[in-house]
Amino acid sequence: MSQPAPRAAAAARTLAPRRAQPRTLVPTAAPALELELLETPDAAPETAPAARRRRLGVLPVLEAAAMALGLAAVAAALWQDLAAARDQDSVVAGVRLGGHEIGGLTATELPAIAETAVLTALDRKLVLAAPGVEVETTARALGAVPAPEAAIAAALRVGHSGDLLADLRARDRALRGDVDLAPGFRFNEDVALEQLLALAPKVERPSLATRFDMDNRRVLPAQRGTRLSAFDSLSAVAVGLASGAERIDLVTQPGPEVPDPWASIADGLDIGAVLASFETPYSTEANYADRAYNLKIGAAPLDGYVLLPGATMSFNQVVGDRTGEAGYRYAGGIADGELIDTVGGGICQISSTLYGAAFFAGLELLHSRPHSRPSAYVDMGLDSTVVYGHVDMKLKNSFDFPVVFHTRVAAGKVRVEVLGARKVYDEVAFERRVQEVLPFNTIVRNDSNLASGTETVSQRGMRGFKVVRTRKLFQAGQVAKTESWDLFYPPTTEILRRGTNPRGERPEAKKLQPLRDPARELRIVQ
């Protein structure tokens, strides 16, 4: 009998019964196999460390394969979803248009809701902003009209670009609520420009020179103004409306520079201290309205006037001529001892109030002259008359810092303050002593309007006075300086009107109050 071929022999051996060999059960990490049967007919059993190393090498391969299969399945599902969305020509989920949910709508369904969104947005509050000002308006007021076509096209493009990763990102943003498209507008530029020009006065600010906040005793630095650039702002409005912005910054430019006489000393100006103040009363009755008006006209040029160290001030130069062209009216005043109506009547009350404030502030009193008769609104000795072109009042600042005058005419009071860096004198005393009282004369003037034998007082006579005025300036409780002036108030002539007409008017008899002379001595301390 012939011998079988080698392959057949091997097969025969495989199929032939054999004795059971030892078997080892090894656990594996593969999900489908809990135990692995290893037969080692021709080799000795493996050691435990070697078996462990072989099992660990299989695990990463199986895990990577599982992950790849999972990602592929997810990508395939998303791609199918994207493809389906493109085929349906609909807006991806989560997209909004002007706050309105439009996810899932098709191109034929979008126009209706887009029109609603645009009409709502037309009347939504819109803020036009410029430095220091914000103005509320609406897109409709700026000439905007609905134009949703571009917004509809943009909505249909979200997540439909064909780029897998880009579309995935877009769909994710939409689902998170981050895709809210602006409704579309177009606008009439002429209407928008007209609205911008109307808003210009609210936006624009004038350039300001260095000035003073007298109430709070502060120096306000110069400020460059603002002008609206209407045509550049028109472009900003167009961009803002197209993007659905709630706030549009208008384009502005710096305003023109203005003369600033105090710019060079603004940093060194300090008006935090009131060196002195002085007040005089005036009548607020209707009969004296023109006089009160003159007081306000005359006080205005002095308010905020800066008197530099070592500088001299002329009242007439600062206030100017008292003429009708300058705004002054006819009112009662004193001329050559008589009360008459004159243009600018009452201006001497401004000069006298300023003089009193300068007196108690310790400013140098270079030149002044008292009235030709004592005044009712100020103590004799503290008055200072002025006549443009003839009689002036002059002051000098002998301090080492500027002083600023603050004047106010209101509520029956004329008030002048002298402001500066600090008070130089602790106290300033005004002392007045009457040295001599002079009688007045009386003159009679015939009046054909009055009945014969009747008389009336046209001007009350007043006695004259020779006065010594003294100023004492105190520092650290001691008199640091004393100044004295001799003043003369001439008597005021009394004028009687005597009737010469037998059929003339008979004047009403008036009882005159007795004359009251000023106190022989007076002392006022600030």
User: Which top CATH class is 426-526?
Assistant: mainly beta
Could you tell me the strand order of the sheet in which 312-314 lies?
312-314, 394-396, 364-367
Place of tokens 């009042």: 393
Query: Do 379 and 359 meet the contact criterion of CB atoms below 8 Å apart?
Result: no
What backbone phi and psi angles, to 5 degrees, belong to 319? -80, -35
User: Rounded CA gap, 399 and 397, in Å?
Assistant: 6
- Tell me how far apart the alpha carbons of residues 488 and 467 are, in angstroms, rounded to a whole number: 6
Query: The pTM is what?
Result: 0.63
Of 142-151, 213-222, 363-372, 488-497, minimum mean pLDDT range = 142-151
Residue 35 and residue 26 in contact, taking contact as beta carbons nearer than 8 Å: yes
228's enclosing H/E stretch is: strand 226-228
Q: Per-residue pLDDT averaged across 281-299, rounded?
A: 96
List the Cα angle 289/293/294 in 5-degree steps: 120
Burial 9-37 (b: 16+ CB within 10 A, else e): eeeeeeeeeeeeeeeeeeeeeeeeeeeee
Answer yes or no: is pLDDT of 383 > 60.
yes
The C-alpha atoms of residue 196 and residue 251 are separated, in whole angstroms, by 11
Residue pair 355/382 in contact (Cβ under 8 Å)? The answer is yes
Structural contact between residues 69 and 39, judged by C-beta atoms closer than 8 angstroms: no
Residue 7 pLDDT = 39
Query: In this structure, are residues 416 and 278 in contact, taking their beta carbons and an 8 Å threshold?
Result: yes
Q: For position 240, what pLDDT does the model report?
A: 85
More confident residue, 307 or 192: 307
Beta bridge partners of 451: 501
Across all residues in the chain, what is the average pLDDT? 83
The SS3 call for residue 396 is strand
Confidence of residue 79 (pLDDT cuts 50, 70, 90): low
User: What's the mean pLDDT in 482-487?
Assistant: 97
Query: Which of 45-59, 109-123, 188-202, 268-282 has the highest mean predicted lDDT (pLDDT)?
Result: 268-282
Per-residue tokens: 39: 């037969």
- The pLDDT, as a whole number, for residue 283 is 95
Rounded to a whole number, what is the largest CA-CA distance in the chain?
195
pLDDT at 41: 45
Higher model confidence: residue 51 or residue 451?
451
In the chain, which residues fall in CATH 2.20.230?
A: 426-526
pLDDT of residue 476: 94
Question: What integer pLDDT is reported at residue 68 of this predicted model?
Answer: 61
